[in-house]
Structure 1
């Protein structure tokens, strides 16, 4: 096992950081590593917005559900799906690019490109001894995020990443068994096998929570997922995306 694999396998979400900002050199390195990620057909359909302004970070923390680590960290990054520059290219070169830009396929490309770049950024940060936490809560109110960041049409803020010096050492949360995630030569559709694997995983997660909380919590993963998915959330997303001239076709 090499140091890269050790860094990947040691990942955990950090939600408390030291009051120490990242240096401009650290920020530059993280962004350069993000840019080194694979990108579909070299389209590079994403942008990254770094937030230093404390008032903006505090507003983003409020939008994200009053998560204080959105405001209190070494640096806050927001990853955006971005096809704005591609629309400008079409205008400048007088080419009919909008049908493609407004397609579901190119929207998916932008989502994938941004996510690949983000994970590269995370691995770079963690390899530097920093901690990270992905923040999907900015999607609670993207209209407010859009106003705060001044993003143009065809740009969708997807998620944030809080990065900084860890001020906690949380336990590593067990993932689904590899047999439940990795399928060979086709998707395993033995329902009894599938449910049996979930049952074993639920026992593992329940034990994890009991140990972590001195038996004050014993949730199962299945119970968490059922409870979360039963509640409708961010149902405005399709309209927001289409109002920003993406995923129209």
Structure 2
């Protein structure tokens, strides 16, 4: 096992940070690693908004469900899919296609994962924030995001002030398949995994949370999340055709 693999396998989300700042050298290294991520057709369809203004950070935090670590982390970045830049330099470029949403989302996710892995290699920690999509219109106005740009997720970065255990992942046999999709999985395997997840939550919360993976998924997928999203995407010039 290499140190890179060990680092990636040791990943856990950090939501509590010390007051120590991230150095300019560390920031530069993380940014360089993020930019080195793969890019579909070399479109580089991503932009990152670094929130350094304290008052602005508080406003962003309010739009993200008032998750306090959005305000307390040393760094908070908003990762965006961005085709505005392409239209600025190539006005005749054809945009608005559904495939471009996928390209922007994939490119940006790869960039975000590179950033977090680089940060973890420097002894830092972080957590992704999907709640930047809670009130996307307000966030676009707050950050002056033009048409062709959509916020996808945030990233808190800082020096960890907690050391939670990594969450247990699904058995590899349920996620990695060969020569086709395996539609039937072991009930016993899922039952065992459910118990692992239940034990993880009970231990992490001191018994305050008692749920399995399938129980959590049942709650999460019981209703549509962010039903305004399609209208917002079209407002910003995505998924028009």
Q: Within 5 Å, give how 1:5-154 maps onto structure 2.
A: 5-91=5-91, 95=92, 97-98=93-94, 101-154=95-148
SS in 2 for 1:71: helix
Determine if contact 1:20/1:73 at 8 Å carries over to the other structure. Answer: no
Unaligned runs of 5+ in 2: none
Distance 2:114 2:144 in 1: 25
CA deviation vs aligned residue, 1:187-246 (integer Å, no higher than 9, x gap)? 1112xx354432221111112222333434321111111111113321111100101111
Counterpart among 180, 190, 194 of residue 198 in structure 1: 190
Determine if contact 2:74/2:156 at 8 Å carries over to the other structure. Answer: yes
How many pairs does the alignment contain? 241
Instruction: Give RMSD over aligned pairs.
Output: 1.3
Unaligned runs of 5+ in 1: none
Determine if contact 2:73/2:156 at 8 Å carries over to the other structure. Answer: yes
Counterpart among 224, 241, 244 of residue 233 in structure 2: 241
CA deviation vs aligned residue, 1:157-176 (integer Å, no higher than 9, x gap)? 10000000001111111011
Determine if contact 1:103/1:246 at 8 Å carries over to the other structure. Answer: yes
Partner of 2:165: 171
Determine if contact 2:97/2:240 at 8 Å carries over to the other structure. Answer: yes
Kindly state the Cα deviation for residue 138 of structure 1 after the two structures are TM-superposed. Answer: 1.0
Q: Within 5 Å, give how 1:155-166 maps onto structure 2.
A: 155-166=149-160
- The TM-score with structure 2 as length reference comes to 0.96
CA deviation vs aligned residue, 1:71-115 (integer Å, no higher than 9, x gap)? 001111111000001112222xxx3x22xx211111111111101
